[in-house]
Structure 1
Amino acid sequence: MKILCILNPIAGGGRTAAQVSAAIHHIFRDAGIEYDIVYTQHSGDGLAIAKHAEKNAYSHVIAVGGDGTINEIATGLIGTDLILAIIPVGSGNGLARALQIPFDYQEACQLLLHGTSRAIDVGQVNDRYFFATSGIGFDAYVGKQYNEHLGHSRGILPYFQIAATEYFHYTPQKITLEYQGKTFTCTPFVLTVANVEQYGGGAIIAPEAAPDDGLFDVVIIPQTPLLKTVYHLPRLFNGTIDTLPDFITHKTAALTITRPEPGPVHVDGETFLAGQSLEYTLLPQALRIQVPEKTVPRSTPKKPGKSFSGNTLELLEKLSRLKDRGILTDEEFEEQKRKLLERL
């Protein structure tokens, strides 16, 4: 085993680099493991360093940082035999949370000794990659504002403070979505393409998403009045957002989104500007990642009889609305209704 550790020195407010370095030195020296530590200096360094790791005979690459650093380094490892390990020190840590990677530095380091590797899917939108979530709705708009407001503290609270302010300035766009030979239009407040169930910070946007099932969970939520949004906000953190009557989800490995004008897109919380047409493609099990042995693949079938979307009457009404919008065919509506009624 030969390990390359790529560390973002300003992650975690710049206070954690020395602590993480000390943990790495202590654990790997005692275990007799060969390792190197490299510090990033600029945006893009993580990607460049990771791309050279395979040529230098490393077996594992540790990414130390937040979601942006993890995204950069993981991008450089796509399609290789190298195994990514994560020491999460960011404010969101979406991928780490989804894979049950511990936040304690020493425990995260110990995964190299006692964990197991797992192949996960990778998402691609145009020429950018993501490992947790991507989106073009309000989440991308707020993410852009959050990333551009330099000087504010990081974390979930500042994010929601910006979201509360920008809620009144955001106007959803009417978009066209094409997948599996189907085409329909909608005006989503939130449109998230999820590879795992959460954004980060414990916000679970796609409770049924699994990182190794070969499918995206495409989540669409229409705009609702502010008070209703606030009332239902706890559902985003307790894993029941999919019980909302207007919650729509599709599973697909590829989709095309067309919008009336260019705008922001986020990949794992990092925003960039893109054109009117967005091509999403899933790369099955294209990244190997070190996880706890106790981690249970989310693609494991659910136990029989487990309810996944709340009140039966609400579900029937929701299915009817989807059929009326042309999202479900008559045959699909009848099939879903039959399955729902069989649970009673």
Structure 2
Amino acid sequence: MSQALLIVNPSSGDEKAKEYAKKVEEILGKQYESVRVKYTEKAGDATQFAREAARNRLEAIFVMGGDGTVNEGVSGIAEEAYRPDFSFIPLGTVNDLGRALGISMNPEEAINQLHHLKKKKLDVGKVNDSYFIDVVAVGVIPEAVSNVDPAKKTRFGPLAYFLEGAKAVGENKSYTFDFTIDGERFIEKSMLILISLANSVGGFEKLVPQAKVDDGKLHLTVVKGEKLADKLKLLPKIFSGEITKDEQIIYRAFEIGKIFVQGSIELAANVDGDEGDLLPLELKVLPQHITVLVPE
């Protein structure tokens, strides 16, 4: 019997998630013989629900929520020998993976896309003992962004991140990082490091145009500029997809890496929009690790 699980974060999507969930359950009910719906109540629930679904060998898992809930769903199946097909309805603020996979940012349109899905392989990133499906960010801007008030996120969406990030850019602050990327070591002063899996980062859909969700690579972008003028020159390139060609940028596609911060500094990474581990970070890619269901 084909079974699917729908995991819903009821606090996502302006709290319309329960209303949307009924529509999704109805559509999936025509594609699977049995559809179970589970609502998250706290952090870690989506991971646990997804893990149980994998161990019970369900055919597919669908998640409704923001980047954090989607991350939890993937994390729940990432270490399992049997991994169900995976899909999601983006209800969060940024939804980079959804953008990269062609899933509509409009929840009602994304729900309608469930009528016609195809299978695609997806790389998963591992940072220390955690997983990510979008981006690991380190530096002055991620520090500022992690302090964005949840009410502001709901009210302003990605603009809330942009405003906090802009404030941080105005401060001439940076850290000295020690990188080892696929065996190559270098040291660089930077205000912002991004390790991404897809072309869309922070809602900017062309930030890393070389990146593909199934290319078996992580994509490192290091912003070198300390002067405000240098940082401002990067802005048009962020929108045009030319940023990785700028002399103020170090760009590498890689498979395994380590990043340390020099000095006795406690600096945390931001992983898929949530606070992650303190540096140092060990990173690797799990190529084409899960099968996602995406719009045809």
Q: Where does structure 2 lack aligned partners over 5 or more consecutive residues? A: none
Change (3 A) 1:32 1:70: closer
Are the equivalent residues in 1 in contact too, given 2:176–2:189 (CA < 8 A)?
yes
Alignment of 1:241-280 (within 5 A): 241-260=243-262, 261-275=265-279, 277-280=280-283
Is 1:82 the counterpart of 2:89? The answer is no
Amino acid at match of 1:162: E
1:285 pairs with 273, 288, 293, which one?
288
Deviation digits for residues 222-256 of structure 1 (CA, Å, limit 9, x no counterpart): 12433553454233233222242322211210011
| Partner residue, 1:6 | 7
| Partner residue, 2:158 | 156
| TM-score (normalizing by structure 1) | 0.77
Take 1:166 and 1:104, find their aligned partners in 2: how far apart are those partners? 30
Moved more, 207-216 or 227-236: 227-236
Are the equivalent residues in 2 in contact too, given 1:61–1:85 (CA < 8 A)?
yes
| TM-score (normalizing by structure 2) | 0.89
Alignment of 1:39-78 (within 5 A): 39-78=39-78
Deviation digits for residues 79-126 of structure 1 (CA, Å, limit 9, x no counterpart): 533011110011100111011112344543455542111121111111
2:145 pairs with 143, 146, 150, which one?
143
Take 1:242 and 1:164, find their aligned partners in 2: how far apart are those partners? 20
Take 1:91 and 1:268, find their aligned partners in 2: how far apart are those partners? 11
Tell me the secondary structure at the aligned position of residue 281 of structure 2.
Answer: strand
State the percentage of identical aligned residues. Answer: 27
Change (3 A) 1:34 1:152: same
* Structure number with higher strand proportion: 2
Take 1:170 and 1:140, find their aligned partners in 2: how far apart are those partners? 15
| Pairwise CA distance, 1:180 | 2.8
Q: Who wins on radius of gyration, i.e. which is larger?
A: 1
Take 1:60 and 1:264, find their aligned partners in 2: how far apart are those partners? 34
Moved more, 66-75 or 108-117: 108-117
| Partner residue, 2:102 | 100
Are the equivalent residues in 1 in contact too, given 2:153–2:161 (CA < 8 A)?
no
| Pairwise CA distance, 1:173 | 0.9
Take 1:103 and 1:173, find their aligned partners in 2: how far apart are those partners? 35
Deviation digits for residues 256-302 of structure 1 (CA, Å, limit 9, x no counterpart): 11112331101112122414x21111111112111123xxxxxxxxx
Amino acid at match of 2:267: G
| Partner residue, 1:192 | 194
Take 2:25 and 2:253, find their aligned partners in 1: how far apart are those partners? 43
| Pairwise CA distance, 1:127 | 1.1
Take 2:141 and 2:213, find their aligned partners in 1: how far apart are those partners? 20
Change (3 A) 1:284 1:153: closer
Tell me the secondary structure at the aligned position of residue 190 of structure 2.
Answer: coil
Deviation digits for residues 116-147 of structure 1 (CA, Å, limit 9, x no counterpart): 1112111111111111111212342133222x
Are the equivalent residues in 2 in contact too, given 1:133–1:198 (CA < 8 A)?
no
> Root-mean-square deviation (CA), in Å?
2.1
Take 2:110 and 2:205, find their aligned partners in 1: how far apart are those partners? 22
Take 2:130 and 2:141, find their aligned partners in 1: how far apart are those partners? 17
Amino acid at match of 1:286: H
Q: Where does structure 1 lack aligned partners over 5 or more consecutive residues? A: 294-344
| Partner residue, 1:332 | none
Take 2:151 and 2:111, find their aligned partners in 1: how far apart are those partners? 31
Are the equivalent residues in 2 in contact too, given 1:4–1:61 (CA < 8 A)?
yes
Aligned length: 289
Are the equivalent residues in 2 in contact too, given 1:3–1:58 (CA < 8 A)?
yes
Take 2:136 and 2:294, find their aligned partners in 1: how far apart are those partners? 22
Amino acid at match of 2:26: H
Amino acid at match of 1:264: A
Amino acid at match of 2:266: P
